Structure 1
Amino acid sequence: MQFLINIDVDDLERAIAFYRDAFGLHIGRRFGTGGVEMLGGNAPLYLLVKETGSRVAEPLAQTRRYERHWTPVHLDMVVEDVEAAVARALAAGAKLESEIRVNKWGAIAGLSDLFGHGFCLLEFRGRGYDEICL
């Protein structure tokens, strides 16, 4: 099985610049004006243009909005140096929502991108999540 990451955005060029500058991703392929494949992580990330106010799915009345929103699914990005990764993401326009916290397994910071999508930056330390496995 292969996982693909799809992120809805309302401004493709702005999204490309953010994900390039924040995470060092680069364009793999363009799909006309409606999307782009970003490479450089261990799974491809697809930025898909979806207009503000468009329906999210047929059976749902909800519409897309790009101010900060909550969803039970978010991205965690594992980095070598969480402090440097936070600084890079902030310089690209991310918003810091929770300061770097150190745990038994490593460090984590919570942020959001330019389109209201939350994500976390993780730096594993020691044995990573194995530090908390039973």
Structure 2
Amino acid sequence: MDIRICIDVDSLERGIAFYTLGLGLRVGRRLGNDWAELVGGSSPIDLLANAAGTAPLGEGQPQRRDYARHWTPVHLDFVVERIDDVVQQLVTLGARLERPISDRAWGRMASMADPFGHGLDLLEFKDRGYDELLPPQL
């Protein structure tokens, strides 16, 4: 099974700039004026331009797109090198650092929000990554 990640943005050009300049992804193809496929990670990311206030589930439904910071139990983790530099670059591009970089048994982590209100975490693994939580293999 393939997994595709879809992220609504209110400006396709700002979304492309944020995810390419900030995280090193690249545009694989544009699928119209309101859709760009980003590649360079383990799954493609589709940026979908949709205006704030529009109905994601169709007219007649109460939900409306809102690009202010919003919390959802689903978020993206991006594994990076040089987490301090990536945090600084993303903040320059409009992200917010919501929890300072913290040390973990498996590496370092920064909790952020992109310019479109979506939460994301940056992870910088050390040595065995999450396997640092397990006993070493003999």
TM-score, with normalisation over the residues of structure 1?
Answer: 0.92
CA–CA distance in 1 between the matches of 2:25 and 2:131?
28
CA–CA distance in 2 between the matches of 1:60 and 1:96?
33
1:107 aligns with 2:113: no
The AA in structure 2 aligned to 1:84 is: D
1:24 equivalent in structure 2: 24
Q: Which aligned segments of 4 or more residues in structure 1 are displaced greater than 6 angstroms?
A: none
1:52 equivalent in structure 2: 52
CA-atom RMSD in angstroms:
1.6
Structure 2 residue runs of 5 or longer lacking an equivalent are none
1:6 equivalent in structure 2: 6
Counting only pairs closer than 5 Å after superposition, residues 57-72 of structure 1 correspond to structure 2 as 57-58=57-58, 60-72=61-73
1:40 aligns with 2:23: no
Structure 1 residue runs of 5 or longer lacking an equivalent are none
The AA in structure 1 aligned to 2:99 is: S
Worse-matched range after superposition: 83-92 or 118-127:
83-92
1:79 equivalent in structure 2: 80
Worse-matched range after superposition: 18-27 or 93-102:
18-27
| Superimposed CA distance per residue, residues 87-133 of structure 1 (whole angstroms, 9 cap, x where no aligned partner) | 22112221110100001111100111110011000011132212224
CA–CA distance in 2 between the matches of 1:80 and 1:8?
26
The AA in structure 2 aligned to 1:21 is: L
Q: Secondary structure at the match of 1:131?
A: helix
TM-score, with normalisation over the residues of structure 2?
Answer: 0.89
Q: Secondary structure at the match of 1:15?
A: helix
Q: How many residues align?
A: 134
State the structure with more CA Rg. 2
| Superimposed CA distance per residue, residues 15-65 of structure 1 (whole angstroms, 9 cap, x where no aligned partner) | 111111111121111111120011121211110012211122258521110
The AA in structure 2 aligned to 1:36 is: A
Report percent identity of matched pairs: 48
CA–CA distance in 2 between the matches of 1:26 and 1:104?
31
Q: Secondary structure at the match of 2:65?
A: coil
Q: Secondary structure at the match of 1:126?
A: coil
